[in-house]
Amino acid sequence: MNVTPCGMQILVKLDEVQEMSEGGVIQHTQTEMEREQNGRNMGRVIKIGPFVHADWEDMTSDTSSGKAKEWGYEVGDLVLFNRYDGVSHDLPNHENYRLIPSNCILGKVEQ
């Protein structure tokens, strides 16, 4: 099954929240709660809908990726959003994905 965002939606893959030791064991620290919270409001942009940040007079799907880049993010970027923004469904192979309206992206995380 494949999910493609429509209209002004963005498909975001939620950030994985696991900190492993060199031996491959998941470490439990005092900051585990903070890491889990970050995983709920940070994610990677996977796909951009056809009308994201398009001008109302010039609504074409050819310009949506360029418009998103002008707004500060593009496919592959790690972005911030509010914890409960968007919609998530338990679709096969899309358990950690969320469809978020483009105007709910708060910022881009530089690494």
The domains of the chain are located at 9-109
Q: What is the dihedral of CA 17, 22, 25, 29, to 10 degrees?
A: -60
Task: Give pLDDT tens digits for 36-46.
Answer: 555 578 899 99
Task: Answer yes or no: CATH 3.40.50.2300 is held by domain 9-109.
Answer: no
DSSP result, 26-78: BP--TTHHHHHHHHHHEEEEEEE-TTTT--STT--GGGHHHHHHHTT--TT-E
Task: Give pLDDT tens digits for 56-75.
Answer: 445 555 555 556 666 778 89
pTM of this prediction exceeds 0.85: no
First CA to last CA distance, the chain = 31
* Tokens (6 digits) for 106: 């708060």
